[in-house]
Amino acid sequence: MSVRRWTQICFVSTLLWFVMAELASAATFASFSASRHNRFLGDDSLNPDFWLDHSLLTGVAVRRAVLITPLHYVTATHTGMINPTFVAADGTRHTYTAESSTVLQTTLQNDLVLSGGTTLMAGTVHNSDLLLVTLEAPIPASDGITPMPVLGGGYFDMLGRSMIVQGQNSQFGSDTIDFTQTVRLNTGAITESVIYRWDHPLGGGGMDELTLVGGDSGEGSFVEHGGEYLFTGTNMGIYTDPDTSEKFSFNNFVSPYVDLIASEVAADGFSIRVVAVPEPSMALAMLTTMGFVWGRRRTKRSQPHGRVRRAKPSDAKPRASRELVGRS
């Protein structure tokens, strides 16, 4: 197996809610509208003008938790577990007690060369930035809180897809997935991720486009498919290229972990519902690539020195690894 030599030449900040909350009050939107992007009104009731379907989001907590079974939710490892509050379709709030957590493991598919020259070998197992949390008791169906379906798909399947992203304060926007990558955080966690560029300053993106800021870690991200919002991952990191000032957001990518998650929840007598998404058409993939190249030419900016790369089409295995030195 050939060795991809990725070095520590970028800084992706992971900004913990409880450490960095003072830095920002919400994700940055291309064109923020409280009536459109806020899930809740000032009195905590459901926003009737919200652009997403409230009834499909009952398994998404007010902050930092996505329910995947009546007993389990997922968040980012570096934010830790909380006692989550979920909101039923009628606006009723329910708070539950978290009992224990398990850090999901990443098995490297390629060698990962760190900045100091140390090589983490393919096949070695490492802590990820995905945390599976077990509640004290299963959520009863009568509460009206429905676990989210989990996205199942390969790395190439994600490129060019629009992804719904939850920011802090239950604000929801979206962005288009540009890359998939294996990344290493400064916590030592090694995680499969999806990456999206902040296109608004470059003349791209739409009104719902957002870029992550401090305090957004652990919130969920989703792909809309078949009339559902499929759980795709959790917010993880941010990075600004020092040469081009382009901003990138990083999310943990849950699909490579579905077998591990299924095994963990099965031990408690539960199962997850995995929904596979079809591979994008060749035309869409070509348009996505061409659009990205056009954007680069238009702004006379180059890809960040090869530090972020598009994943090659594969059998849902990462084909490159990369070291990052921060969290979001």
Domains of the chain: 12-323 (2.40.10.10)
Pairing of strands 321-323, 179-184: parallel
225-256 residues labelled b (16+ CB within 10 A) or e (exposed): beebbbbbbbbbbbbbbeebebbbbbbbbbbb
pLDDT of residue 148: 98
Could you tell me the pTM of the whole model?
0.81
pLDDT of residue 201: 72
Least confident range from 28-37, 55-64, 187-196, 199-208: namely 199-208
pLDDT of residue 23: 29
pLDDT of residue 327: 56
Q: Hey, what are 121's tokens?
A: 């070998």
CB 323 within 8 A of CB 120: no
CA distance 153 to 255: 6
Least confident range from 97-111, 183-197, 201-215: namely 201-215
Q: Tell me the pLDDT of the chain averaged across its residues.
A: 80
Q: What angle do CA 196, 254, 68 make, to 5 degrees?
A: 125
